[in-house]
């Protein structure tokens, strides 16, 4: 599992330079972090266009606020992910009635049979439907822990909660996912009868 805390001294130097107004340093931080922020947002919204917009807004907000950034023992990326989460939550409040979440899937090269490939796609879609059905806090913990690979401490920092609260939310989310997937008979697709 990835550890967000392994920021290099070069990253810390870039952050220090960016906080005093060095735009090139901020540009380098952008290059280092944009893919992770985009992937995190994409997991939350499951819409490429919206994820691109929220990622762009995240970095604009970060640039505007970089002079107020304080190192608190967590990586710069955790600060960016917290900004992204807050933007997402604000967007959800404004667009409560926007319930059309499009499931986009970009499959990679497959050496398996077409049937296996289709079943895997159906299972993945079913898992994501179950994750999206979780309440917002539980969904956030699942995405941060398992998609972004963050530690409990980093998730707690991003969400502004205690490590214990994150552990409880993860336990409850996994229990709810298990029930949902068992009820949905995950992996029991019969493509030959279609």
Reported as a pLDDT band with limits 50, 70 and 90, residue 121 is low
Q: What pLDDT, on a 0 to 100 scale, did the predictor assign at position 100?
A: 35
Helices (H), the chain: 9-19, 23-45, 48-65, 76-94, 114-133, 136-142, 152-159, 163-183
Give me the pLDDT at residue 157, please.
86
Query: Does any domain span residue 107?
Result: no
Q: What is the mean pLDDT of the chain?
A: 75
Domain containing residue 34: 9-94
Residues 144 and 80 in one domain: no
Same domain, 79 and 120: no
Q: Do both 14 and 76 map to the same domain? A: yes
Residue 103 lies in a domain: no
Higher pLDDT, 117 or 182: 182
Question: Has residue 89 been placed in a domain?
Answer: yes
pLDDT for res 35: 93
| 137 and 168 co-located in one domain | yes
Please tell me whether the overall predicted TM-score, pTM, comes out greater than 0.75 for this model. no
Q: How far apart are CA 13 and CA 25, in angstroms?
A: 9
CATH number at 13 reads 1.10.1740.10
For position 166, what pLDDT does the model report? 87
Q: What is the pLDDT of residues 54-66, one digit of tens each?
A: 999 999 999 888 8
Residue that terminates a domain, selected from 60, 94, 128: 94
Tell me the per-residue pLDDT of 135-178, one tens digit each, with 9 for 90 and over. Answer: 888 888 888 887 777 888 888 888 888 888 888 888 888 888 88
């Amino acid at each position: 599992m990835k550890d967000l805390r392994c920021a290099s001294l070069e990253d810390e130097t870039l952050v220090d330079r960016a906080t005093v107004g060095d735009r090139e340093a901020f540009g380098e931080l952008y290059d280092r972090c944009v893919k992770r922020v985009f992937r995190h947002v994409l997991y939350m919204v499951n819409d490429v266009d919206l994820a691109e917009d929220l990622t762009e807004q995240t970095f604009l907000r970060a640039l505007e606020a970089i002079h107020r950034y304080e190192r608190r023992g967590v990586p710069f990326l955790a600060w960016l992910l917290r900004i992204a989460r807050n933007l997402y939550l604000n967007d959800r409040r404004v667009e409560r009635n926007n319930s059309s979440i499009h499931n986009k899937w970009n499959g990679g090269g497959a050496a398996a049979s077409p049937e296996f490939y289709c079943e895997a796609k159906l299972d993945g879609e079913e898992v994501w439907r179950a994750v999206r059905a979780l309440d917002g806090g539980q969904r956030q913990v699942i995405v941060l822990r398992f998609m972004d690979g963050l530690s409990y401490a980093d998730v707690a920092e991003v969400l502004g909660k205690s490590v214990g609260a994150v552990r409880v939310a993860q336990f409850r989310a996994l229990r709810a996912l298990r029930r949902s997937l068992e009820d949905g008979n995950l992996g029991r697709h019969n493509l030959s009868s279609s």
